[in-house]
């Protein structure tokens, strides 16, 4: 039923018919029985307060699931944009590469978050989404989202909120990169991860970093050596303990205070 998505009912200029094959015929992409209503990421992905009929329609948006193994890309910059992806499990990084080949990590994304929104405007994805561990994602053909959101205002609103929040999130990162010292950047990063893990039912104080020091550095506008030094310093100062990729936040309060200090 969901296949009608690819007859592309929207008047969009950037979603050629033929291109859908790329997303749908991928060997790792599988159709399945949709049941967003029973998905435990429901409250992260979906609008609230829909009636059963609306819920039924919104579930049509989820066309398939896709497995992505560690190191593989969910999509690359320049790929034709057909769908956005909702992460079901696993951990991604998103990156952009500029004309000179400089790569920058723009985000780390976990279950319940949406990837690919940067592709709507140009018809091709602007950045890359790379799996940092084995992942599973729901494929949401964007033409279908647009189509159904015309009929289900709750979905329309939800989409707009998600897009807007992405902008707000980016502003937060700009603030971090533009105005904070290394210490504060790393503190902000750890606290942000902590909050998001907690929201998903994991420990807020004890977690496993899935990205390298270099990736953290790229995200925070620091070199990997600097990140490493800061981790060591935080440990010496009794704020955290680190062993390789395992981090434990020992003094959450003080970590938060770090953000408050001027320069």
Binding site for a second copy (CB under 8 A): 10-13, 96, 98-100, 102, 104, 106, 117-122, 126-127, 146, 149-151, 153-154, 156-157, 159-168, 170-175, 177-179, 218-221, 259-260, 262
| Closer Cβ to DNA, 9 or 182, answer by number | 182
| Closer Cβ to DNA, 32 or 69, answer by number | 69
Report the nearest approach of DNA to the CB of residue 257 (Å): 16
Residue 121 binding target from DNA, a second copy, none, CB below 5 to 8 Å by type: a second copy
Q: Which of 116, 31, 32, 28 is CA-nearest to residue 77?
A: 116
Residue 160 binding target from DNA, a second copy, none, CB below 5 to 8 Å by type: a second copy
| Closer Cβ to a second copy, 29 or 156, answer by number | 156
Q: How far apart are the first and last CA of the chain?
A: 56
Size of the site for DNA (CB under 7 A): 24
Residue 253's Cβ-side half-sphere holds a number of Cα atoms within 13 Å equal to 0
In the block, which residue shows the tokens 């964007």? 142
Choose the binding region for DNA from 26-34, 140-148, 150-158, 210-218 (rule: CB under 7 A). Answer: 210-218
- How far is it, in rounded angstroms, from Cα 157 to Cα 261? 38
Instruction: Report the site for DNA in 148-177 (rule: CB under 7 A).
Output: none
37: CB partners within 8 A, 6+ apart: 55, 59
| Closer Cβ to DNA, 137 or 180, answer by number | 180
Residue 223 binding target from a second copy, DNA, none, CB below 5 to 8 Å by type: DNA
Residue 117 binding target from DNA, a second copy, none, CB below 5 to 8 Å by type: a second copy
In the block, which residue shows the tokens 């620091």? 222
Report the nearest approach of DNA to the CB of residue 221 (Å): 6
Q: Which of 130, 91, 108, 88 is CA-nearest to residue 188?
A: 108
Encoded one letter per residue, x for contact with DNA by CB under 7 A and - for no contact, window 226-255 reads xxxx-xx---------xxxx----------
- How far is it, in rounded angstroms, from Cα 106 to Cα 166? 11
C-alpha distances (whole Å) from 136 to each of 26, 60, 133, 197 are 14, 18, 10, 17
Report the nearest approach of a second copy to the CB of residue 115 (Å): 12
Residues 184 and 191: beta-carbon distance below 8 Å: no
String of b and e for 71-103 (b: at least 16 CB within 10 Å)?
eeebbebebbbbbbbbbbebbbbbbbeeeeeee
Q: What are the residues binding DNA (CB under 7 A)? A: 181-183, 209, 212-214, 217, 221-229, 231-232, 242-245, 263
């Amino acid at each position: 039923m969901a296949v009608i998505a690819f007859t592309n009912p929207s008047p969009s200029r950037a979603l050629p018919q033929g291109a859908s094959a790329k997303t749908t015929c991928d060997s790792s992409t599988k159709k399945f029985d949709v049941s967003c209503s029973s998905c435990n990421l429901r409250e992260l992905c979906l609008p609230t307060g829909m009636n059963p009929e609306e819920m039924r329609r919104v579930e049509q948006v989820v066309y398939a699931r896709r497995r992505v193994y560690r190191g593989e890309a969910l999509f690359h910059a320049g790929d034709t944009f057909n769908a956005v992806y909702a992460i079901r499990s696993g951990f991604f990084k998103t990156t952009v590469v500029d004309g000179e080949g400089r790569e920058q990590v723009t985000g780390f994304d976990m279950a319940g978050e949406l990837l690919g929104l940067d592709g709507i405007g140009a018809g091709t994805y602007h950045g890359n989404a790379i799996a940092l561990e084995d992942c599973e994602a729901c494929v949401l053909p964007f033409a279908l989202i647009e189509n159904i959101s015309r009929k289900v205002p709750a979905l329309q609103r939800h989409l707009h909120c998600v897009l807007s929040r992405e902008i707000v999130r980016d502003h937060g990162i700009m603030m971090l990169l533009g105005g904070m010292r290394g210490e504060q950047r790393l503190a902000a990063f750890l606290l942000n991860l902590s909050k998001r893990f907690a929201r998903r039912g994991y420990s807020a104080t004890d977690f496993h970093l899935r990205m390298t020091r270099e990736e953290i550095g790229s995200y925070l506008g620091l070199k990997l050596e600097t990140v490493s030094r800061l981790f060591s310093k935080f440990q010496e100062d009794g704020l955290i303990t680190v062993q390789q990729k395992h981090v434990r936040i020992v003094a959450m309060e003080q970590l938060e205070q770090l953000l408050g200090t001027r320069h």
